[in-house]
């Protein structure tokens, strides 16, 4: 059986849907905090069990019978994140899982400027120490983050952000397809994968040009000092740790931590990944419909 955690989340749900296109539903299980939110999956024959990263026993029960476990990284940072991952990995050992796959990130390293990448590196250390077969999916930086940064510019045409560097923005749908392909073929990769990215790394100057092409309206790139960006984030209600986390993305990008591009994602999904222009066009068209 293939067990997926976080199956009601933005990435986990997509992975389960793609997986169900490849394997019978009775070979798929999910571990979720609220089983009611996965009721439709249960109706389709997926095994749904409650699993909380704060309750080791629940995770061991949710992971029971897993030949493969996909551990979708937690939406936490720092020690809280790594502790949750350690709990899940220990539960996987208790449940005698055959292989653990983990949604890591390109740029995962102990010396990264970005806290999440340091957390991924520590989690990969935990996986390495288990002695189990494991795969770390080095996902490209989620394009959803870029779209979130761009939301104020959607109406103003002014992309006012800190100095950055090229980033291989990558879509959730393509990463979900690739993950399902890896799970269905059981252990195609040992340890960290190559970066699973789109075909281009873009800074926000290039993004401004793409936005102009997509919309037919002018977009300009304005560089905001780091301190000014942090102050603006705080004024808009972001807690200080969140403001610092956002700022660290730009510091890491300036260092080139997210600039690698690699053909592995395209090979896994059998097509070129969606371009950032396509992802931007889809997202803004959907937002326009919602605003109407």
- Cα–Cα distance measured from residue 147 to residue 283, given in angstroms and rounded to the nearest whole number: 8
* Percent of the chain whose predicted confidence (pLDDT) is above 90: 95
**Cα separation, 156 vs 152, whole angstroms:** 7
Considering the domain boundaries, does residue 238 fall inside one?
Answer: no
Q: CB within 8 A of 49, min separation 6: which ones? A: 29, 30, 31, 32, 35, 58, 61, 62, 64
**71 located within any domain:** yes
Tell me, yes or no, whether 256 lies in a domain: no
34 lies in some domain:
yes
Residue 6 lies in a domain: yes
Render pLDDT for 139-188 as a digit per residue (tens, 0 to 9).
999 999 999 999 999 989 999 999 999 999 999 999 999 999 999 986 68
**Averaged pLDDT for residues 38-47:** 97
- Taking the C-alpha atoms of residue 124 and residue 196, their distance in angstroms, rounded to an integer, is 16
Q: How far apart are CA 148 and CA 258, in angstroms?
A: 17
Q: Is residue 188 part of a domain?
A: yes
Longest dimension (CA), the chain: 57
pLDDT the model gives residue 187: 63
* Section 50-76 average pLDDT: 95
pLDDT value of position 223 = 97
Predicted local confidence at residue 287, as pLDDT: 83
Q: Look up the CATH number of the domain holding residue 10.
A: 3.40.50.720
Residue 77 has pLDDT above 80, yes or no: yes
Q: What is the pLDDT of residue 137?
A: 98
Q: Is residue 267 part of a domain?
A: no
Residue 125 lies in a domain: yes
Q: How confident is the model at residue 263 (pLDDT cuts 50, 70, 90)?
A: very high
Mean pLDDT of the chain: 95
pTM reported for the whole predicted model: 0.95
Rounded (5°) CA angle 9-249-83: 55
Name the domain count of the chain. Answer: 1
Average pLDDT over residues 270-284: 95
User: Is residue 204 over pLDDT 80?
Assistant: yes
Q: With both helix axes pointing from N to C terminus, report the angle between 226-235 and 240-254 in degrees, rounded to the nearest 10.
A: 150
Domain residues for 116?
2-139+171-192
Query: For residues 48 and 41, what is the distance between their CA atoms, to the nearest angstrom?
Result: 7
Cβ neighbours of residue 82 closer than 8 Å, sequence gap 6 or more: 119, 122, 123, 126
């Amino acid at each position: 059986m293939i067990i997926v955690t976080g199956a009601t989340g933005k990435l986990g749900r997509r992975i389960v849907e793609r997986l169900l296109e490849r394997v019978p539903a009775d070979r798929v299980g999910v571990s979720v905090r609220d089983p009611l939110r996965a009721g439709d999956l249960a109706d389709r024959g997926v095994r749904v069990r409650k699993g909380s990263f704060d309750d080791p026993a629940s995770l061991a029960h949710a992971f029971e019978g897993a030949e493969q476990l996909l551990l979708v990284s937690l939406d936490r940072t720092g020690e809280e994140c790594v502790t949750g991952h350690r709990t899940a990995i220990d539960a996987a050992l208790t449940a005698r899982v055959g292989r653990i796959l983990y949604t890591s990130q390109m740029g995962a390293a102990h010396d990264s400027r970005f806290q999440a990448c340091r957390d991924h590196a520590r989690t990969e250390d935990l996986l390495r120490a288990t002695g189990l077969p494991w795969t770390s999916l080095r996902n490209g930086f989620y394009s959803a983050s870029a779209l979130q940064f761009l939301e104020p510019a959607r109406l103003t045409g002014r992309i006012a952000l800190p100095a950055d560097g090229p980033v291989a923005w990558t879509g959730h749908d393509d990463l979900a397809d690739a993950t399902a392909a890896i799970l269905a073929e059981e252990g195609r990769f040992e340890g960290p994968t190559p970066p699973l990215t789109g075909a281009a790394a873009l800074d926000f100057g290039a993004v401004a040009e793409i936005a102009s092409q997509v919309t037919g309206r002018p977009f300009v790139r304005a560089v905001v000092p780091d301190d000014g960006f942090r102050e603006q984030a705080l004024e808009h209600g972001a807690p200080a740790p969140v403001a610092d986390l956002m700022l660290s993305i730009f510091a890491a990008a300036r260092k080139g931590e997210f600039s690698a591009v690699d053909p592995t994602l395209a090979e896994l999904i059998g097509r070129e990944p969606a371009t950032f222009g396509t992802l931007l066009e889809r997202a803004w068209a959907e937002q326009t419909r919602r605003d109407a």
